[in-house]
């Protein structure tokens, strides 16, 4: 991850001594994006070549699975078979690389706000709402003055780069969750929770156990946040604390 620091005026009175003169953007550099795309395209093309070799080998066997698709592929005359498989494989590899970049979190830290962008959807948090920022495992977390969780996003930016960016713009960066000792593990029918919270935790536990329901788990986390509950996950177990 490269830290790009656009140079623009930070306000009418100018920046404070020692502070960056513009926002700090933490995201993949264009050079890295191009490198990843080229690498995945080459990998996809390589897999296409292996499919060609596998198909040609399968049709020589008396009894083998997938002989129908193999015969169909090898019925395509050369060089079109090779060109087609390399092209399709490369295109799939490029699509995978672009999708990965689309899913990456970009962090923009400025004196007046923090902007988190994923899937081309920016979320802005004014400075007065951000009390502390920290890394929790592979996630970037922002907390408000009332200790409520403003954001929890998977982030590949190093903790060092994040810390430097937030501190440079005058935000409070913590090396660990300052409320870590307040979390308790959720178990069914946990007492002292707001009405409806246990049902949401139960639904979220089911979502965490499935590989294709990450968005559902995220939505249920947001529902729990509306009840004043902060949730963190560890090995698909749910831990919680109440916002004062």
**CATH code (residue 111):** 2.30.29
Distance CA 93, CA 75 (A): 25
pTM of the shown model: 0.73
Asked if 92 and 130 sit in the same domain, the reply is: no
The answer to whether position 22 is within a domain reads no
Q: Contact, 26 vs 117, CB < 8 A?
A: no
- Distance from CA of residue 141 to its chain's centroid? 12
The answer to whether position 175 is within a domain reads no
Asked if 143 and 185 sit in the same domain, the reply is: no
80-103 vs 67-74: helix axis angle to the nearest 10?
A: 110
The answer to whether position 133 is within a domain reads yes
- Closest-CA residue to 45 (of 113, 118, 96, 114): 96
Asked if 151 and 116 sit in the same domain, the reply is: yes
Distance CA 113, CA 116 (A): 10
The answer to whether position 154 is within a domain reads yes
DSSP string across 146-206: TS-EEEEEE--S-HHHHHHHHHHTT--B-SS-TTGGG-EE--TT-TTPPTTHHHHHHHHHH
Which residues form the domain of 237?
181-242
Pairing relation of β-strands 2-4 and 132-136? unpaired
The answer to whether position 19 is within a domain reads no
DSSP string across 112-162: SEEEEEETTEEEEEEGGG--EEEEETTEEEEE-TTS-EEEEEE--S-HHHH
Asked if 39 and 96 sit in the same domain, the reply is: yes
The answer to whether position 37 is within a domain reads yes
Q: Contact, 226 vs 243, CB < 8 A?
A: no
Asked if 34 and 98 sit in the same domain, the reply is: yes
Distance CA 120, CA 168 (A): 26
Overall domain count for the chain: 3
Per-residue pLDDT of the chain (244 residues; tens, 9 = 90+): 444 444 333 333 344 556 777 899 887 656 766 787 788 889 888 998 998 898 888 888 877 788 888 888 888 998 898 999 899 988 998 888 767 666 789 999 999 999 999 888 999 999 999 999 999 999 999 999 999 999 999 998 899 999 999 999 999 999 999 999 999 999 999 998 999 999 999 999 999 888 667 889 999 999 999 999 999 999 889 999 999 8
The answer to whether position 150 is within a domain reads yes
Asked if 123 and 94 sit in the same domain, the reply is: no
Asked if 92 and 124 sit in the same domain, the reply is: no
Q: 7: which 2 tokens?
A: 């140079």
């Amino acid at each position: 991850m490269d830290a790009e620091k656009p140079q623009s005026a930070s306000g009418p009175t100018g920046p404070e001594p020692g502070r960056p003169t513009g926002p700090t953007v933490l995201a993949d550099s264009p050079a890295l994006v191009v490198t990843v795309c080229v690498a995945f395209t080459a990998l996809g093309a390589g897999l296409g070549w292996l499919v060609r070799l596998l198909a040609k080998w399968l049709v020589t066997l008396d009894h083998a699975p997938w002989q129908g698709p193999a015969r169909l592929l090898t019925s395509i005359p050369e060089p079109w078979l090779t060109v087609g498989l390399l092209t399709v494989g490369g295109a799939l590899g490029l699509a995978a690389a672009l999708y990965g970049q689309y899913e990456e979190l970009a962090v923009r830290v400025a004196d007046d706000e923090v902007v988190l962008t994923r899937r081309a959807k920016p979320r802005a948090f004014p400075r007065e709402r951000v009390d502390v920022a920290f890394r929790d495992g592979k996630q970037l977390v922002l907390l408000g003055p009332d200790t409520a969780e403003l954001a929890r996003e998977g982030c590949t930016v190093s903790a060092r780069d994040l810390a430097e960016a937030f501190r440079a713009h005058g935000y409070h960066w913590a090396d660990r969750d300052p409320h870590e000792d307040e979390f308790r593990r959720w178990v069914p029918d946990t007492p002292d929770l707001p009405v409806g919270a246990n049902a949401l935790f139960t639904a979220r536990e089911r979502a965490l156990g499935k590989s294709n329901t990450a968005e559902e788990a995220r939505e249920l986390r947001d529902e729990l946040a509306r009840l004043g509950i902060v949730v963190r996950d560890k090995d698909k177990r749910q831990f919680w604390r109440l916002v004062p």
